[in-house]
Amino acid sequence: KMKSSRSSLTYFTEDMKESSRDFFEIEMNLRKGLELNQFTLYYQPQISAVNGQIEGFEALVRWNHPEIGLVPPNVFIPLAESTGFIVPLGEWIIKESIKKLQELHHNGMEEMIISVNISPRQFIHENLPHVIEHTLEQYEVSPDKLCLEITESVAMEENKLVIERLNLFSEKGIQISVDDFGTGFSAFVYLQEYPVNEIKIDREFIRLLTQNKKSEALVKTIIDLAENLDLSVIAEGVETKEQLSILRDLGCQRFQGYLISKPIPSEELNMWMNSFEF
Ligand code: C2E
Ligand code: CA
Ligand code: CA
Ligand code: CA
């Protein structure tokens, strides 16, 4: 192997794009990784912009690779999505998240919600409703404490199936959030068609908030839209007090971001909550 100052992660991602041999090798390693328990969930707090309380967490997956270390999801989720590995991995993520919900509820935080990212392929997979319902029953967690984050791209897959499924989840009381809102094309069209509970303003809008007045107008429009459609709204990627203050003025109800905390390893979550003050 060549010596270089670049990290092994860079090689890892480049390999993945360039060589199909490595592609299959990584796919094999992913599957082995799931068997060997190398995946782990981090949790990022979601905070009320009104009273500063913790309202829930977003579950974010990482791959703890024995040689490379912690691999971020942007590196392997697209690959997992294209090979179908996202289905077994996604099931593991759902189970872990619901187990965590049970733990939180047992520790006296009965209202705590966990948001789980569901990728398009996973969303339309036939087993998803069964896996979710079965796991909720198994851990005796109320469906309204689970929130599924979907992106606009799911809408472009199989429209009929997606609506059917959203209706099913919504009848069960499971919450639906539209992630990265505003970055796709059809956002406004499907909001009238799909039963969703929440829209999540994409980080990019938040990043630009303090840089120009236009993005403030855009964020205000999204927040007003949510209000008019009776949806809740959450901002992601809030890094500064200034951003939070603008969001509050615009009527944003909830937020998450480095201002409060980076995603926290599962086993450190209790400690973090005990020392949280805002
Ligand atoms: P996302 O769902 O939009 O998640 C938000 C990403 O922004 C996370 O990156 C989070 O760590 C990061 N973030 C949170 N607060 C801040 C902030 O204040 N500033 C900045 N710069 N970044 C912030 P992460 O964990 O690396 O995840 C990246 C993407 O990978 C996610 O984007 C999501 O699309 C996907 N992903 C993560 N976990 C899962 C999962 O369990 N299942 C699926 N299907 N996709 C996942
Ligand atoms: Ca998300
Ligand atoms: Ca997002
Ligand atoms: Ca995003």
Question: If you measure from the C-alpha of residue 241 to the centroid of ligand 1, how many angstroms do you get, rounded to a whole number?
Answer: 21
Angstrom CA distances, 138 to 81, 98, 102, stand at 27, 9, 10
Q: Please give, one letter per residue, the 3-state secondary structure of 17-79.
A: HHCHHHHHHHHHHHHHHHHCCCEEEEEEEEEECCCCCEEEEEEEEEEEECCCEEECHHHHHHH
Check pocket membership of 258 for ligand 1, CB cut-off 6 A. yes
Percent of the chain clearing pLDDT 70 (strictly above): 91
Please state the atom number of ligand 1 nearest to the C-alpha of residue 239: 18
What's the average model confidence in pLDDT over 23-40?
93
Check pocket membership of 251 for ligand 1, CB cut-off 6 A. no
Question: If you measure from the C-alpha of residue 3 to the centroid of ligand 3, how many angstroms do you get, rounded to a whole number?
Answer: 36
Check pocket membership of 263 for ligand 1, CB cut-off 6 A. yes
Virtual torsion, Cα 34, 35, 36, 42, nearest 10 deg = 30
Closest CA to 241 of 212, 201, 209, 205: 209
With a cut of 50, say whether residue 271 has pLDDT above it: yes
State the complex-level ipTM.
0.97
What does the pLDDT read at residue 158? 75
Check pocket membership of 237 for ligand 1, CB cut-off 6 A. yes
Q: How confident is the model at residue 5 (pLDDT cuts 50, 70, 90)?
A: very low
Check pocket membership of 219 for ligand 1, CB cut-off 6 A. no
Please state the atom number of ligand 1 nearest to the C-alpha of residue 236: 15
Q: What tokens does 7 get?
A: 């990290």
Whole-structure pTM value = 0.93
pLDDT digits (tens, 9 = 90+) for 197-220: 999 999 999 999 999 889 999 999
The radius of gyration of the chain from alpha carbons, rounded to an integer in Å, stands at 19
